[in-house]
Amino acid sequence: MGDENMNKKYLIGIDQSTQGTKALLFDENGKMVRREDLPHRQIVNEEGWVSHDPEEIYQNTLRVVKQLLINPQEGGLRINPEQIAGVGISNQRETALIWDRQTKKPLADAVVWQCSRSQAICDRIEESGDGAVIERKTGLTLSPYFPASKLAWLIENVEGAGQKALEGALGMGTVDTWLIYRLTGGTSYKTEYSNASRTQLFDIYRLRWDEELCRIFGLSPEYLPEVCDSDSCFGMTDFEGLLPKAVPIHGVMGDSNAALFGQGCIWPGMIKATYGTGSSIMMNTGATPISSKSGVVTSLAWKLNGEINYVLEGNINYTGAVITWLKDEVRMIDSPNETESLCRSARQDDSLYLIPAFTGLGAPYWNSQAKGLLCGITRTTGREEIVRAAVESIAYQIMDIVETFCKDTGDTVTELRVDGGPSKNSYLMQFQSDLLNTRVSVSQAEEMSGIGAAYVAGIALGLYDKRVMEEIGRSIYEPKMEPELKVKKSKGWKEAVKMIL
Q: What is the pLDDT of residue 2?
A: 46
User: What is the chain's alpha carbon radius of gyration, rounded to the nearest angstrom?
Assistant: 23
Is 320 part of a structural domain of the chain? yes
Q: Are residues 220 and 311 in the same domain?
A: no
Q: Are residues 248 and 282 in the same domain?
A: no
| AA identity, residue 493 | W
Residue 78's CB is within 10 A of a number of other CB atoms, namely 10
Higher per-residue confidence, 123 vs 6: 123
Q: What is the pLDDT of residue 360?
A: 81
Digit-coded pLDDT (tens) for 400-416: 999 999 999 998 899 99
Q: What is the mean pLDDT of residues 377-392?
A: 94
Element (DSSP H or E) covering residue 4: helix 3-6
Is 500 part of a structural domain of the chain? yes
**pLDDT-based confidence at residue 240 (cuts at 50, 70, 90):** very high
User: What is the domain extent for residue 403?
Assistant: 264-501
Q: Are residues 270 and 203 in the same domain?
A: no
Digit-coded pLDDT (tens) for 184-198: 999 999 999 999 999
**pTM for this entry:** 0.90
Average pLDDT over all residues of the chain: 92
Q: What is the pLDDT of residue 441?
A: 96
Residue 222's CB is within 10 A of a number of other CB atoms, namely 11
Is 29 part of a structural domain of the chain? yes
Q: Are residues 165 and 203 in the same domain?
A: yes
The phi, psi pair for 158, rounded to 5°, reads -100, 120
Is 41 part of a structural domain of the chain? yes
Q: Is 24 helix (H, G, I), strand (E, B) or coil?
A: strand
| AA identity, residue 315 | N
Q: Are residues 216 and 279 in the same domain?
A: no
Is 257 part of a structural domain of the chain? no
Q: Are residues 439 and 474 in the same domain?
A: yes
Q: What is the pLDDT of residue 130?
A: 94
Q: What is the mean pLDDT of residues 293-298?
A: 87
Q: Are residues 219 and 307 in the same domain?
A: no
CATH number at residue 88: 3.30.420.40
Digit-coded pLDDT (tens) for 269-291: 999 998 887 888 999 999 999 98
Q: Is the pLDDT of residue 164 over 70?
A: yes
Q: What is the pLDDT of residue 21?
A: 96
| Number of domains comprising the chain | 2
Residue 258's CB is within 10 A of a number of other CB atoms, namely 32
Q: What is the pLDDT of residue 316?
A: 86
Q: Is the pLDDT of residue 76 over 70?
A: no
Q: What is the pLDDT of residue 1?
A: 43
Among 232, 252, 272, residue at a domain's last position: 252
Higher per-residue confidence, 370 vs 107: 107
Q: What is the pLDDT of residue 313?
A: 94
Among 222, 252, 282, residue at a domain's last position: 252
Q: Are residues 423 and 299 in the same domain?
A: yes
Percent of the chain with pLDDT over 70: 97
Higher per-residue confidence, 466 vs 283: 283
Higher per-residue confidence, 226 vs 297: 226
Among 223, 252, 281, residue at a domain's last position: 252
Q: What is the pLDDT of residue 91?
A: 96
Residue 486's CB is within 10 A of a number of other CB atoms, namely 16
Report how far residue 200's alpha carbon sits from residue 298's, in angstroms, rounded to the nearest whole number: 12
Q: Are residues 442 and 366 in the same domain?
A: yes
Report how far residue 43's alpha carbon sits from residue 112's, in angstroms, rounded to the nearest whole number: 9
Report how far residue 18's alpha carbon sits from residue 127's, in angstroms, rounded to the nearest whole number: 32
Q: Are residues 207 and 91 in the same domain?
A: yes
Q: What is the mean pLDDT of residues 309-337?
A: 90
Is 259 part of a structural domain of the chain? no
Where helices occur in 30-146 by DSSP H, the ranges are 54-70, 119-128, 131-138
Q: Is the pLDDT of residue 30 over 60?
A: yes
**pLDDT-based confidence at residue 426 (cuts at 50, 70, 90):** very high
Report how far residue 359's alpha carbon sits from residue 337's, in angstroms, rounded to the nearest whole number: 25
Q: Are residues 273 and 212 in the same domain?
A: no
Q: What is the pLDDT of residue 36?
A: 94
Q: What is the mean pLDDT of residues 219-235?
A: 97
Q: Are residues 380 and 270 in the same domain?
A: yes
Q: Which residue(s) pair with 32 in the sheet?
A: 26
Contact between residue 404 and residue 283 where contact means Cβ atoms under 8 Å apart: no
Is 282 part of a structural domain of the chain? yes
Report how far residue 403's alpha carbon sits from residue 409's, in angstroms, rounded to the nearest whole number: 10
Name the residue among 402, 380, 245, 247 with its Cα closest to residue 316: 402
Contact between residue 88 and residue 10 where contact means Cβ atoms under 8 Å apart: no
Is 243 part of a structural domain of the chain? yes
Q: Is 165 helix (H, G, I), strand (E, B) or coil?
A: helix
